[in-house]
Amino acid sequence: MKTVKEHYSYAAYADPGMAASFDAKRFGGPIGRLLLEDQERILVQFLGNVSQLRILDLGAGTGRASLALATRGARVTAVDASTEMLAVAQRRAADSDLSIAFEKGDAHALAFPNRSFDAVVCLRLLMHVPNWRQSLSELCRVADRRLVFDYPAMASTASLQSVWRRLAMQAGRDVEAYRVFRRQVVERELRRHGFRISAVHKQFVLPIALHKSIGSPGFTKTVEGGLAAVGILRLAGSPVTVAAERCAS
């Protein structure tokens, strides 16, 4: 049986080649830039004025969210399990003359006291970690007031891709499998830790891979806008970004 550290979510991102090419693969091209712009817009919308707020970016990777928040005056701590990914983020922060605290850490056991941060951001992580409930528990524990995180929705095309990737991984192919989530399950876990969902954003109906293969922001905006207008985005949009607030005690 594999140990946690042998799980693909650790092993894949410990590869220096993966760290060096990550941004080009995920955010290259016009659709990649569109994804980044949308991500930054939603963070700003969900977090509001972040100036001088203590914010943890968990699963910071190459630092895209960390840099966006630090640029707006947040006091950011960026944590990732991959030293290689953090090295890319550190270089990017230095190039932008931004002060960010970078720390290697595990999402299942964070080395911070309870309620250490005004807000916690966690993007593209819960879908991959070995134990998402434990990781979400840690997010809630160290957040004083607010969480912003995302997940692929079960009621979306992401479910089909998730099944395909898991089968491909079992067949020995080099792919990143991931899990999908039901909103009711996520809400239940948040309630267990004293949080409630305050805002939700759903990004696309059609698969991101399809939009990237077409490579036309105009097509993406037109088609996804039409699907949103007739209510399909609300029903089957993914990934889902959630803002959650700590309930009054």
Decide if 68 is inside a domain: yes
Exposure class string for 54-77: b at 16+ Cβ within 10 A, else e: ebbbbbbbbbbbbbbbbebebbbb
Can you read off the two tokens belonging to residue 62? 């190459």
Decide if 213 is inside a domain: no
**What's the domain range around 78?**
4-151+181-202+241-246
Instruction: Look up the CATH number of the domain holding residue 133.
Output: 3.40.50.150
pLDDT of residue 6: 62
Decide if 128 is inside a domain: yes
Going through the chain in order, the beta strands assigned E by DSSP cover 54-58, 75-80, 101-104, 117-122, 143-151, 195-204, 238-246
Confidence of residue 169 (pLDDT cuts 50, 70, 90): confident
Confidence of residue 9 (pLDDT cuts 50, 70, 90): low
Can you read off the two tokens belonging to residue 163? 């099944």
Range with lowest mean pLDDT among 16-25, 156-165, 172-181: 16-25
pTM: 0.91
Decide if 46 is inside a domain: yes
Decide if 165 is inside a domain: no
Decide if 99 is inside a domain: yes
When divided into structural domains, the chain yields a total of 1
Decide if 146 is inside a domain: yes
pLDDT in tens, 230-242: 999 999 999 999 9
Decide if 36 is inside a domain: yes
